[in-house]
Structure 1
Amino acid sequence: MRGTSQASLTAIREQSEAVYKAAGTNAQTLGEQLFVVVDALDSSGSLRRSLADPSRTGEDKAALIRSVLANGFDDRTISIMENVAKSRWSSDRDLVDAISLLAIDAYLSAAESRDALETVESELFVLTRALSGQREARQALSDPSTDSSIRVKLVHDLIAGRADEVTVALAARAAAAPRGERFVPALGRIGDMAATRRARKVAYVSTSRALSDTQIERLESILSAQYGQDIQLNVTVDPAVVGGMRVQIGAEVVDTTILTRLTDARRRLAS
């Protein structure tokens, strides 16, 4: 999302943050309702296009939202959606993507209000790592041809009763309504949002053997100094990493593994 849409999203997220914080744990209800709106817009091209139509006035589109959400929706949800409707979007897809992000923000804020945000972030990471060696499970959770209720049941079978309610809800949502995104990357994105909310970047580290506490602290210090902010390390032990380590922060990858160096050497020799 870029340009006009990104500017609109940034402004609305800032405006909505105060609403979520005031709502406390009830922000989760706002998130649930915003996801309902996402589903409604995904299933109605005409409504989606009407809300993104730049030729209609913001107040006209806000009135449309009020009429659609008049029954059963929290006033705070309606207010957030009015802000969405009044904003400008480069495409109707961007508008719906923005609402989905606002819903996730609401859930994470609810977790934060009870000091569970770090737990949610950690559980999302653990779940993605657990699925890394389960190809069939990953495919089932991302397969749009599989009934959504089956995908949600698989999530519940994996983590229900063993993870925070926000972790379970967001993982189930990622499985039920992927919106073109595969399950594991969707969880990774939500985990990054949680880390950002805690004012930390996430570094995904793969290494052939477990790092000591001293090594972890040193790596955190080095990366924090490099990026100018706190870094959250999510470390995975991967026997396929033959020495060295692979560090990914966002789209940036620092790969110092022996296997990668050998592959690069072979590539240069072959060229």
Structure 2
Amino acid sequence: MRGLSRASLAEVEERFNGVAGAADLGTLADELFAVADLFDREHGLRRSLSDPSVPAAQKAQAARVLLDGKVSPATVSTVESAVGAKWSRAGDLPDVLERLGVVAACAEAESQSRLDDVEDELFRFGRIVAASPDLRRALTGPSLPAEGKRALLNELIGGKVAPSTLRLLAQLVTHSRGRSLDGGLEEFGGLAAEQRQRLVAVVRSAIALSEEHKQRLAAWLRASFGRDVHLNVEVDPRVLGGFSIRIGDEIIDTSIAGRIEEVRRRLAG
């Protein structure tokens, strides 16, 4: 988000933080997802509730009439704050509500001491989907309706992952909102990491790393970047030796394959 929307996001997050502490976080996440999806579907409603020429109090009242008695007070309060804010574009309104739904789901996991599990499970699910084209088609294609995709997720991972993980994955596969599944998993994983102000490092190694090696690598990255780092480790035989690390747009490559590619680029130049 840019400019005006970034400032509005900070204001809405402050209001959200004030009501989330006393809310059922799982319910709050589900309801914010549902409202974001409603605003995505109903273009006229979204435009009217994000119109900067309409007084904030009038838009908040409209949202209250629309939602009161249908969702929890914490959700009503958050949506009132969101529609009362000013956004650079109308699409930022549902984006913010979905973002806060993700934050609520992650806060739920944190309250259950399972936020690390959620980060790991989102990453591992991405690897599972990458290895199964049929599963990817079923979860992202138009052949299965939303409820069918939810049922498939429940059959595959229900009871095997944290409730927050299942909640986040269900949102991604039933409401892609123009994202690829990979992009959505990366976005939600990043938001999960932000809950503890951590960076996410995707580590590709030719062999599985021991816990000791992971701890040493995390300590080195923490010292290098000045922030805690969550490691998502992917075993990839193509790495040959060493490992490569991606943190955002930055890549640290100590692999043999990376060195060979660097030599090739220099020779080509």
TM-score by length of 2: 0.93
What percentage of residue pairs aligned between the two structures are identical?
38
Q: CA deviation at 1:236?
A: 1.4
CA spacing shift, 1:259–1:139, aligned 2, 3 Å: farther
Q: CA deviation at 1:37?
A: 0.8
1:187 aligned onto 2:197: no
Q: Which runs of 5+ in 1 are unaligned?
A: none
Q: Distance in 2 between matches of 1:229 and 1:266?
A: 34
The worse-fitting range, judged by mean Cα deviation, of 165-174 and 8-17 is 8-17
Q: Distance in 2 between matches of 1:42 and 1:213?
A: 43
1:44 aligned onto 2:42: yes
Q: Distance in 2 between matches of 1:265 and 1:136?
A: 38
Correspondence list, 1:7-86, <5 A = 7-23=7-23, 26-86=24-84
Q: Distance in 1 between matches of 2:62 and 2:172?
A: 28
The worse-fitting range, judged by mean Cα deviation, of 236-245 and 169-178 is 236-245
Q: CA deviation at 1:74?
A: 1.4
The worse-fitting range, judged by mean Cα deviation, of 111-120 and 43-52 is 111-120
1:136 aligned onto 2:134: yes
Deviations 1:153-185 (A, max 9, x none): 332232112111111111111101110111232
Read off the aligned partner of 2:115 and give its amino acid letter: L
1:238 to 222, 236, 239: 236
The worse-fitting range, judged by mean Cα deviation, of 214-223 and 52-61 is 214-223
Give the equivalent residue in structure 2 for 1:102: 100
Correspondence list, 1:164-243, <5 A = 164-243=162-241
Deviations 1:80-122 (A, max 9, x none): 1111011110011111101110111111112222222222222
Q: Distance in 2 between matches of 1:238 and 1:103?
A: 33
Q: Distance in 2 between matches of 1:137 and 1:79?
A: 38
Q: Distance in 1 between matches of 2:145 and 2:238?
A: 34
2:4 and 2:88 in contact (8 A); partners too: yes
CA spacing shift, 1:140–1:98, aligned 2, 3 Å: same
2:20 and 2:74 in contact (8 A); partners too: no
Give the equivalent residue in structure 2 for 1:92: 90
Q: Which SS does the other structure have where 2:238 is aligned?
A: coil
Q: CA deviation at 1:214?
A: 3.3
Q: CA deviation at 1:35?
A: 1.3
Give the equivalent residue in structure 2 for 1:263: 261
Q: CA deviation at 1:10?
A: 2.2
CA spacing shift, 1:261–1:150, aligned 2, 3 Å: farther
CA spacing shift, 1:213–1:71, aligned 2, 3 Å: closer
Q: CA deviation at 1:38?
A: 1.2
The worse-fitting range, judged by mean Cα deviation, of 140-149 and 174-183 is 140-149
4+ long deviations beyond 6 Å: none
Q: Which runs of 5+ in 2 are unaligned?
A: none
Q: Distance in 2 between matches of 1:145 and 1:55?
A: 41
Deviations 1:125-178 (A, max 9, x none): 221222232233224322346432333233223211211111111111110111
2:20 and 2:104 in contact (8 A); partners too: yes
TM-score by length of 1: 0.92
Q: Distance in 2 between matches of 1:19 and 1:7?
A: 19
Q: Distance in 1 between matches of 2:253 and 2:122?
A: 23
The count of aligned residue pairs is 269
Q: Distance in 1 between matches of 2:100 and 2:147?
A: 24
